Amino acid sequence: MANIVPFSFPVELLSGTHNFASGGNTFRISLYTSLAAYSTSSTAYDTTGEVSTGGGSQYSAQDLATNAVSNVSNIATVDFTTNPNWGSPTPATFSALGAAIYNTSASNKLIVVLDFGATFSCSNGTFTVTFPDPTSGSPSGADALISITS
């Protein structure tokens, strides 16, 4: 499976459902051991396959802070302030194959599903999802996590 941008996202973006500006909507990231519940026709956050919170795994979905919405070289990008991590200060133990980002301010509408390409694990440590630099790629911003080319 590859990363998924649901068909509903562009329509919701154009209709004003999602506000990525600093101080706008609240976005959250959840981790998954299986991404089978998601497809391009998915519209909202789904708990199926989400990392278990049992057994002292120190996992829970995290809010993402939007730092900036910008436009460089006719590419609009969104930058989240920090890379989310689990296990700091209390060590975590779990595995994840992917993640979903969704808008909690708009009925948990799905933004993107990220496929890590393999299952990654942490054992009594820290698990970090590293987002690409919003200016990465050629032209600048083309490889951002969320970008729109005009």
**Residue-wise pLDDT tens digits, 106-141:** 999 999 999 999 999 999 999 999 999 888 888 888
Query: Tokens at residue 22, please?
Result: 């600093």
pLDDT digits (tens, 9 = 90+) for 49-104: 999 876 667 889 999 987 788 887 888 988 888 899 998 888 899 999 999 999 99
Residue 11 CB-half CA count within 13 A: 7
The residue type found at 58 is Q
Tokens 């499976």 label which residue?
A: 1
Band the pLDDT of 144: cuts 50, 70, 90.
confident
Return the pLDDT at 150: 76
Length of the chain: 150
pLDDT at 98: 97
